[in-house]
Amino acid sequence: MPTPDKTSRAAIVAAGRELVERAGPDGLTMQAVAERVGVRAPSLYKRVRDRRELLALVVAATLGDLTARLEALDEHADPTRRLAEQADALRRFAHEHPVGFGLVFAAHGAPRPEQAAVVRSVAPLLDAVAALTGPDHALDGARLVTAWANGFITMELGGLFGLGGDVESAWRWGLDRIVASLAAET
């Protein structure tokens, strides 16, 4: 009779996400994940090919988590409100999962998520921007919002706003200006 499975791929990925947040990408080792899920490292290879695949699964799960949060927002709200809510949700997510955020949005040499997952993750943003700018500039507007939000969040997480002032007010002021500029397109 075969031995019972002591862990699952989902548990391995969840443990990997926790480790990445606590110890960074370098802390994601097969041994550390195995200890976390209560098995020996060789047992992981029944579910995950190698560390690179595990890192890819962690990145995909992180993007999936963010996507679910964005999809849960009120899709019937005014597009300016939707856009602001999506940016705020991205910022909250980044504060809760700063390392995962960095793996998804920055060029760290981490495996890139599958294109279908990326398309799904950006769909709520494209929809909100298209409602403001029309379809011809939806992608341009989505890139503008994403680049600004990611730059702001990355600097905020890195403690790079050292000149004083209220960072929350600066976020709101910048986001209001971006949304207003897109709304002026119609």
Q: Residue 97 maps to which CATH number?
A: 1.10.357.10
Q: State residue 77 phi and psi, 5-degree precision.
A: -70, 160
* Residues 79 and 134 reside in one and the same domain: yes
Residue 153 half-sphere exposure, CB side, CA atoms within 13 Å?
24
* Model pLDDT, residue 106: 77
Residue 186: its pLDDT value, please? Answer: 59
pLDDT of 5 over the 90 cut? no
Q: What pTM does this model have?
A: 0.91
Give me the domain span that covers residue 37. 1-48
Residue 9 lies in a domain: yes
| Tens digit of each residue's pLDDT (9 = 90 or more) over 78-109 | 999 999 999 999 999 999 999 999 999 876 67
Place of tokens 């504060």: 95
Q: Which residues of 120-142 are buried (b: 16+ CB within 10 A; e: fewer)?
A: bbbebbebbbbbbbeeebbeebb
Q: Are residues 96 and 161 in the same domain?
A: yes
Answer whether residue 123 is part of any domain.
Answer: yes
Same domain, 73 and 33: no
Spell out the long-range contacts of 128-132 with Cβ–Cβ below 8 A and sequence spacing 24 or more: 128/79, 128/82, 128/83, 128/86, 129/79, 129/83, 129/182, 131/79, 131/82, 132/79, 132/80, 132/83, 132/179, 132/182, 132/183, 132/185, 132/186
State the pLDDT at residue 77.
86
- Can you tell me the distance from the alpha carbon of 160 to that of 162, in angstroms, rounded to the nearest whole number? 6
How high is the mean pLDDT of the chain?
A: 93
Do 38 and 66 lie in one domain? The reply is: no
Count up the domains in the chain and report the number: 2
55 in a structural domain: no
Does residue 163 surpass a pLDDT of 90?
yes
Indicate whether 56 pLDDT > 50.
yes
CB 55 within 8 A of CB 104: no
Residue 56 lies in a domain: no
